[in-house]
Structure 1
Amino acid sequence: MEVLLLAIFFLPLFLLFISRIYKLNLRPPGPRGLPLIGNMHQFDTANTHLYLYKLSQKHGPLMSLKLGTVKYLVISSASAAREVFKYHDLCFSSRPASVGLQKMSYKGLDIAFAPYSLYWREMRKICTLNLFSSKRSQSFQPIREQEVARMVKSIRDEAAAGSSVVNLSETLTTLTSSVIFKITFGKIYDDEEEYGAMNHNKMSSKMKSFHWLLTETQAIFASFFLTEYFPIIGHLIDRLSGAWSRVEKSSNKIDAFYQQVIDEYLHSSPASTHECSILDILLQMKKDSSDFTFDHIKAILMNVLVAGSDTSAAAVVWAMTLLIKNPSKMKKVQQEVRDITGNKGFVDENDVQKLVYLKAVVKEAMRWHPPLPLLLPYETIDKCVISGYQIEAKTRVYVNAYAIGRDPECYEDPDEFLPERFMNSNIDFKGHHFELIPFGAGRRMCPGISMGVATTELALANLLYSFNWKLPPGKIKEDIDMATATGLTVHKKNHLCLVPVIIN
């Protein structure tokens, strides 16, 4: 009897000891939640990447959360990201079927948000070869250079006319939208319709519609639906609250915009289109396969338009923000750009390839403020073990690139803006170095990285080459805030407004 009592008493302790050693069937640590709702009452949707970064400092680089019925895993260090993407990439290769993403991707017909499947593998292969190859990106070089030159001329004209302050946030959003719109649709408008003048009041109605599309798409991505976390009661509440109807109306308007542009493109004369436009390629894919529909085209257009314009604009704005706060770095990169380019009057993409320090500035800016700080959400397709913790299938996964960029195990003085850390370094953001993954890694890495980086570097190089930049009168660098706006792509909350000084 005494032996039995001792066994009953010590058995739980023995099992706890074993589980602590092997961490078998244990979830990663995380903040304690409440019954039914989990951590939902603690979740900050305004600055999610910052909130999760702070939590990870307390709970570790692998952290569990639960929102309603949905389990989450948060990755916040380079070593954890390496284990996920290098050794368990297939397990982490799907996407969650969230309401907003499903609506905007035409139920997963795109590349970025489609769940992992045979369809996605085939579509990714086709689109990588036809749309996002290095050769295809190089074919769009004339469009990028033309639009950046137009931006520089517009800033110079405004400065010469006595306009002292330029809103770089709006200017760069218009530039990147212009670049991706022409790359995608190949449209060449007449002078009255041209939107190269970096003034939103002078934009064509179509470009205003395009900017509305980008804003509304981001809003749908960020929309909160209780259905996802409480499937039974949440669906009813979302219906009653009007959340469903708002998304339906917005998605119908967005679909109408795509259809209008496609129809105009199909009825336009060959002389008014660019022969290598992305829409040309997609329409040819439709001709080649009866299974490839207009919904497939619209879903992929959404990926190209949103990812291609929004992220590049945010990247250049953050780079300029960090440089204006660090005048010595600004002077150093300007000196390099001007020495390499000389008196040519414009930095072309061939020049950009020689700009070692500028490329280091871009890497450091993306370490500080990756345009998508949480990357796109992942979902596990099977059980796996990460760092001794068992991760269940259907777990949603946030990879916090913002936190990884501040990992003290990877970066000395991570809170300092030091582009020099990437000089004489082989670290890049192409998915092989897990301490710098603004474009992701593994199977679900952004396929449009070549085009995005080319636009970012070209725009930044020419802004630094053509102008010296000052703060508006009465402002000092400490006045520049680093607050972030809410959205899938994280922009500066307050626009970056600077004074350009013409130097050539």
Structure 2
Amino acid sequence: MLEQNPQYLYLLTIFSVIVIFYRWFTVKTASKNLPPSPPKLPIIGNFHQIGPDPHISLGALAQKYGSLMLLKFGSVPVLVASSADAAQEIMKTNDLAFADRPTTSITDRLFYNSRDVGFARYSEYWRQVKSICVVQLLSTKRVQSFHNVREEEVDLLIQNIEYSKIVNLRDLFSELTNNVVCRVALGRKYGNDKGNSYKHLLKEMTNLLGYFRSIGDFIPLLYWIDRLKGLKGKVGKVADEVDAFLEGVLRDHRQGSTAPDDAYANKDFVSILLEIQKENLDTGLSIDDDCIKAVILDMFFAGTETSSTTLEWTIAALLKNPGVLLKLQTEIREIGRGKSKITEGDLAKMHYLKAVMKESMRLYFTAPLLMPREARQDVKVMGYDIRSGTQVLINAWAIARDPALWNNPEEFRPERFFNNPIDYKGLHYEYLPFGAGRRVCPGILFAVAVNELAVANLVHKFDFELPHGERMEDMDMTGVTGLTVRRKSPLLVIATPHV
């Protein structure tokens, strides 16, 4: 009968596969004490319970199943931590056990087999490259040495606003952060056709990156869907174009045709990495061209997308809360009295500004699930058994809105950070805008320096209102989840120079 009816054979095979997967997904090992789990479906696991905003969906599940949950995304076990205690056990107590990054097909292709700092597996190579970034590129001394670049680009931002009636702050913040990173990382800004191409490539890469982007990474049997959607081809095309652009950057530097476009001629990141490559040519360190290109891509994504999004949320939150904006204006304009602009030397005195920036990053997380980790070994977390290879998501968004940790967490109240030791450097697990532990973001100082200077000068220089008579209190603060969580619509304002 089977030979005469191949369709019956096909259906029987499909049914058998489903039964096998169902048993695989639902049967637990009796000897293991696993975290609570929501019910799963065959093949897809818990994917059906994840909406367009995964951090919100996972936060709702945590309310029902607890602050430490074990889910299945396809065939991949995923541990989700939604409390400060759970985050501390993962990122401090068991930091080494969870120091790995999961391998994904997209990051491997775009970041030269994940040879950057952000996506690289935990290894001696990663330790060496991270050390170079922290010491040579992102140290306090190095970040301070580029203060002129930040100040000049913020000046240009102010000029662009002064000559516009209705200002699209999203576009201008993106231009600001791109220009700063270009000058610091590549030695100069890229304009005209080459600049447009570079910005287009960054946008394309941003659209491709995301935890749930590739179905094949979670359900290998369905890898063909990625090809059917054209995802594989698009990733390959963008990766080739990015590589061609970066090859040109390296060639320009080696030929000496890239000269700094400012009088204060600091060495840019590419020049520093090329020097390290030359010095360590015979030492066995793996600082080859692919490594340099991967690290530079890290600088762009850490220094542009997240920073510009943070700036947009911060200004939107100030407009939404006029009382907070007035307090900030009072502080900044008093310190900047008689000055045409705020310099980085003024920022240390602006305590309310620092509280505003902290509160903005608490309430409006740009990366609410942080970057995923992976268990390198079997380990216990809060008494539960976690297997090697389990991926880990820290729902920093849910932790930062936990009413057990924060009074009135949905309110924008910078005062909560007055006389409060909580900081963003990864030592307080109720507040993790940059992560914590070994995989903490190494670019904290760089990001904070750009953001504080830009906000201070905007508030010092302009009074704001919304176009078309819209009331500030009625602003829509809906976010849309992509690589980062952005405002649903670009922030448009009318900026009037303050007299």
Q: Taking structure 2 as the reference length, what is the TM-score of the superposition?
A: 0.89
Q: Does 1:60 align with 2:61?
A: no
**Range 235-244 or range 50-59, more displaced:** 235-244
Paired residues for 1:85-164 under 5 Å: 85-158=91-164, 163=165
Distance 1:71 1:480 in 2: 39
- Matched to 2:68, the amino acid is L
Say if 1:404 and 1:436, in contact at 8 Å, map to a contact too: yes
Shift of 1:208: 1.9
1:263 to 231, 241, 251: 251
Equivalent residue number for residue 84 of structure 1: 90
**Range 483-492 or range 326-335, more displaced:** 483-492
Shift of 1:152: 0.7
Say if 2:354 and 2:452, in contact at 8 Å, map to a contact too: yes
Equivalent residue number for residue 233 of structure 2: 245
Shift of 1:467: 0.3
| C-alpha spacing 1:169/1:188, structure 2 compared with 1 (3 Å) | closer
Equivalent residue number for residue 35 of structure 2: 28
| C-alpha spacing 1:322/1:241, structure 2 compared with 1 (3 Å) | closer
Paired residues for 1:387-406 under 5 Å: 387-406=382-401
Structure 1: where are the runs of 5+ without partners? 1-22, 194-203
SS in 1 for 2:487: coil
Say if 2:463 and 2:498, in contact at 8 Å, map to a contact too: yes
Equivalent residue number for residue 182 of structure 1: 183
Q: Does 1:48 align with 2:54?
A: yes
Equivalent residue number for residue 21 of structure 2: none
SS in 2 for 1:421: helix
Paired residues for 1:69-80 under 5 Å: 69-80=75-86
| C-alpha spacing 1:271/1:393, structure 2 compared with 1 (3 Å) | closer
2:316 to 312, 318, 321: 321
Shift of 1:235: 3.1
Aligned residues between the structures: 462
- Matched to 2:253, the amino acid is Y
Equivalent residue number for residue 27 of structure 2: none
Say if 1:383 and 1:391, in contact at 8 Å, map to a contact too: yes
Say if 2:462 and 2:496, in contact at 8 Å, map to a contact too: yes
Shift of 1:277: 0.6
SS in 1 for 2:71: strand
Equivalent residue number for residue 22 of structure 2: none
Say if 1:228 and 1:234, in contact at 8 Å, map to a contact too: no
Q: Does 1:167 align with 2:168?
A: yes
Shift of 1:323: 0.8
Distance 2:373 2:381 in 1: 15
| C-alpha spacing 1:188/1:174, structure 2 compared with 1 (3 Å) | closer
SS in 1 for 2:271: helix
Structure 2: where are the runs of 5+ without partners? 1-29
Q: Taking structure 1 as the reference length, what is the TM-score of the superposition?
A: 0.88
Shift of 1:92: 1.0
Shift of 1:263: 2.2
Distance 1:139 1:96 in 2: 35
Residue deviations 1:240-260, cap 9 Å, x none?
A: 443211211111111112112
Shift of 1:436: 1.0
Distance 1:265 1:484 in 2: 40
Say if 2:321 and 2:473, in contact at 8 Å, map to a contact too: no
1:304 to 281, 290, 299: 299
2:45 to 22, 31, 38: 38
Q: Does 1:464 align with 2:471?
A: no
- Matched to 2:168, the amino acid is N
Shift of 1:272: 4.1
| C-alpha spacing 1:271/1:246, structure 2 compared with 1 (3 Å) | closer
- Matched to 1:32, the amino acid is P
Equivalent residue number for residue 450 of structure 1: 445
Q: Does 1:355 align with 2:353?
A: no
SS in 2 for 1:251: helix
Say if 2:179 and 2:189, in contact at 8 Å, map to a contact too: no
Say if 1:24 and 1:390, in contact at 8 Å, map to a contact too: no
Shift of 1:79: 1.6
Distance 1:298 1:42 in 2: 38
Residue deviations 1:446-473, cap 9 Å, x none?
A: 0011000110111111111100111113
Equivalent residue number for residue 8 of structure 1: none
- Matched to 1:243, the amino acid is L
The percentage of counterpart residues that share the same residue type is 40
Equivalent residue number for residue 15 of structure 1: none
Q: Does 1:216 align with 2:228?
A: no
**Range 295-304 or range 471-480, more displaced:** 471-480
- Matched to 2:44, the amino acid is I
Distance 2:260 2:189 in 1: 6
Say if 2:309 and 2:366, in contact at 8 Å, map to a contact too: yes
- Matched to 1:88, the amino acid is N
Shift of 1:210: 2.5
- Matched to 2:403, the amino acid is P
Distance 1:47 1:148 in 2: 32
Shift of 1:188: 6.0
- Matched to 1:392, the amino acid is R
Distance 1:98 1:480 in 2: 38
